[in-house]
Amino acid sequence: MSQGESEARDNSIERFCHQYLQLERDLDYPPADQLREADTQDILYHRLFADGAISYPPPQRYQLKVLKELTSRIEASIEDWDRHGVSDDLMNSLSSLLALPLLPELTAAQQKSYVTYTPSLITTSQNSSTPSPQITLLESRNLISAAGTTGLRTWEAALHLGQYLSANPSYIKGQEVLELGAGTGYLSILCAKYLGAKSVVASDGSDEVVATLPDNFFLNGLQDDENIRAMDVKWGHALVGTEEEEWNGGRPFDIVIGADITYDKSVIPALMGTLGELIGMFNTTVLIAATERNQETFEAFIAACEKMYLNPEIIDFELPRGQDQQGPFYSDKVPIKICRIFGAGVHFTTDIWVIEQEKAFILTWTDAIGPVDIDLVNLSSYDFTRNKEIVKGYTGNNTFEWAPDVDLSLDDYALYIDDGRSVNISPTLSSMGPSVQSIQSITSRDVGDSIGDSSPYVDNGLSSHTVVGISVGCTVGGVSLLGVISALVRGRQQDKKTPGDEEAKGQVTEEQEQKQPEPVVRGDLTLEDHMDAITAS
């Protein structure tokens, strides 16, 4: 046998073994001219069917089905029975399986099975004796979709994203990783065992799924590894202020990954609320893989990202043809897309957002990858429409001196900065009378408590600060509160007395006395008093 023929035989056997361990329904058996050879049959026996050959073998019914088909194909491939025959070892294994009682097919279908995947793009030693990387999971393969069960099997988008990460290990090596909707934990185990992650948290919103994750850690020898653990994370629920003062013990995440978690439009608002909070807390990068079963659902996810200024980018990673796959195996008929969301990006670093009339204001920022555009935005339109260009294509050293217009109308403003990769927003600038001043910023943690998770005005997380005007200005109550604060400042100014005030009172004309007095909102009144004053006005 030539070297080329030997390599072709080896590749054919590897592919068949990997498919068998993954419980594929339609297996690619080695060709007839290979099957009839004694050494091919010997390899298949010792790798798949000998006692103890597989630590976690497939279900008995599946073993029997495959071995019957294999021996049948071997018999059909033999042209000269004097030269070739069927392996006695394979026939003995078949006889043993036939002698065992089988569970009813319906019962067997409801049981979990061991499934072993081979992530073939992982770079391994050139030593041929080094075993292929494998991930074994206990799955409910026959459960397709029902409440609480979608996380009990590994879906195709996870396999595709796993291949992308295997081909681009720099995303994971030495990083703190969080997986959303981990399900069986395939990606988390891949990152912890083969891609060199510093630590991995496999999270899911299903209590049943979270409870089964440690079993899969055990199957892959990670039961004593302190760098991988399971966590309950329910999308749309606040991460901060629940069971611990600092979520995840204050430990940051460098990258968030998720696969097949955008399968339903109804889950996207809750998912975006959690992603927004994670990006706001950690400035992390997000990788989401989605099977395009429904183009409309995927487009809804992208639109939600853009609405929150999360800068989604579709990664060009070719879906391999089925006949070219060496494992893991998944359909090449349904497109799978990988979306990257930049968490860390350009953001303002200005500390004090107080702008005085006719006085230059110094803007500072960091993490820009190129020239920046800075725009003044009017927030009252509720869609963040840009309305005034401050500077375009600025290449200065992360610093720009801005002289605000003296005739800004009474309204709420913010500054946008864009470096071509990411966009960020400043704290709110509130115009009060002849000068522009700001409401002091608060942390993004406070924003999460102030507005709903589905709001398009959740802090985009690309800056470490946000502002009361953003958080509460997007609700009716928030608008009222801004009015209270504005009235409060005017009230304090009117309370100040200057010399001559008493004399001026005595010169009020009768016509002026008949005018309806304007309400004065004072700093020593309660919030209810302020609200009553605004209502009366």
Going by C-beta distance under 8 Å and a sequence separation of 6 or more, which residues neighbour residue 159?
117, 186, 328, 329, 330
Residues 121-138 have a mean pLDDT of 76
- Which of 45, 41, 23, 24 has its CA nearest to residue 32? 41
pLDDT tens readout for residues 167-224 = 999 999 999 999 999 999 999 999 999 999 999 999 999 999 999 999 999 999 999 9
How much of the chain exceeds pLDDT 90, in percent? 48
The DSSP code for 333 is: S
Burial (Cβ within 10 Å: 0-12, 13-18, ≥19) of residue 537:
exposed
pLDDT tens readout for residues 391-423 = 999 998 899 998 877 666 667 777 888 887 777
Residue 477 pLDDT exceeds 50: no
pLDDT higher for 430 or 453?
430
Strand ranges (E), 55-141: 113-117, 135-139
User: Are the beta carbons of 343 and 284 closer than 8 angstroms?
Assistant: yes
Residues 35-50 have a mean pLDDT of 97
User: Are the beta carbons of 382 and 399 closer than 8 angstroms?
Assistant: no
What local confidence, expressed as pLDDT, does residue 216 receive? 97
Dihedral angle of Cα 233, 234, 235, 237, to the nearest 10 degrees: -100
Respond yes or no on whether the N-terminal peptide bond of residue 328 is cis (omega within 30° of 0).
yes
Domains of the chain: 3-110 (no CATH), 113-122+133-341 (3.40.50.150), 347-474 (2.60.40), 480-536 (no CATH)
Residues 3-11 have a mean pLDDT of 85
pLDDT tens readout for residues 143-166 = 654 444 566 889 999 999 999 999
